[in-house]
Amino acid sequence: MSKLNQPRLRFAHLPTPLEPLDNLSRELGGPRIWVKRDDCTGLATGGNKTRKLEFLVADAIRRKSETLVTVGATQSNHVRQTAAAAARFGLGCEVLLEREVVRDDDYANNGDILLDRMFGANIHQRPPSDDLNRAGEDLAAEIAASGVATYFIPAGGSSPVGALGYVVCALEMAEQFREMEIEPAAVIVATGSQGTQSGLLAGFSAAGRDVPVIGITVSRDGEEQAELVLDLTRKTAELAEIEFEVNQDQVVCDGSYYAPGYGQPNEGMIEALSLTACTEGLILDPVYSGKAMAGLIAMIRSGRFGSQDTVVFLHTGGTAGLFGYRSLFS
């Protein structure tokens, strides 16, 4: 078991529900699907970054920081939640957004970026960067040089400190599995900046639960992503004082479902959003949870999970971003 001796603020609505998706399960004729509702964490329409920000903002305050600086894409769920957390705790917020996706509908002015502005974030924009985190660090240094104490949060809040939020989530899920007598064949989650999957792997290890965590990538191929996830998992486990030993081949990242690229729609994602909406009244997002659900649907149809299996889908939130893609569903 981990000690988690890191400062933490408690503003997420926890524990989030674990609910069955029985209509979707019947529609697919496969395993029983449950959804872990981390779209219900409460901050600024919710999402997985809120768990990370409980630790990150606490660390920023401990270091007497005045302004949070972070980075993301135009429809970044992480930036939205960071801007909201900054407003809640009286901190400034400077964000660097890269214009990685170009669309003709409301992408550049609606959804997450609309909320960023409402929360008072100061937005800087730039073309796509080979190293967005480095560009964000440079912005933080520039602001700090003017005399403002800054705290830089990498993309997705995915540092070892941020990933502690998903160590907590794994411990929470392990307790729910015990109480509800669920033995999942796997947990399915979108994986991008690595912090959510890494925290889950470290957290299940801390809980003594051998639960496969399958990451569906949203921005790169599976092999490259798995290397990054393993590295961050080890760093997170070290920070949390968790005994963690795993081989590279035990870190599963599937890169089959994100093409043509990050934030770019595909048919599997559109089907996944439409199917979960009309069978369960559950709204996914086009960038993360939609592609992760497309991966789960494809795995079920291929026979990877049997009708007697149970799988848990981690809903990472992001519903606000859907409004930047309205033409796909109109």
For the chain, the three-class secondary structure string (H helix, E strand, C coil) is CCCCCCCCCCCCCCCCCEEECHHHHHHHCCCEEEEEEHHHCCHHHCECHHHHHHHHHHHHHHCCCCEEEEEEECCCHHHHHHHHHHHHCCCEEEEEEECCCCCCCCCCCCCHHHHHHHCCCEEEEECCCCCHHHHHHHHHHHHHHCCCCEEEECHHHCCHHHHHHHHHHHHHHHHHHHHHCCCCCEEEEEECCCHHHHHHHHHHHHHCCCCCEEEEECCCCHHHHHHHHHHHHHHHHHHHCCCCCCCHHHCEEECCCCCCCCCCCCHHHHHHHHHHHHHHCCCCCCCCHHHHHHHHHHHHHCCCCCCCCEEEEEECECHHHHHHCHHHCC
| The pair of three-digit structure tokens given for residue 184, joined into one six-digit string | 């999942």
Query: What residues act catalytically?
Result: 76
Q: Return the closest-CA partner of residue 161 out of 71, 84, 219, 238.
A: 238
| The pair of three-digit structure tokens given for residue 162, joined into one six-digit string | 């941020």
**Cα separation, 107 vs 226, whole angstroms:** 30
Q: Return the closest-CA partner of residue 329 out of 279, 286, 280.
A: 286
- State the amino acid at position 107 in one-letter form: Y
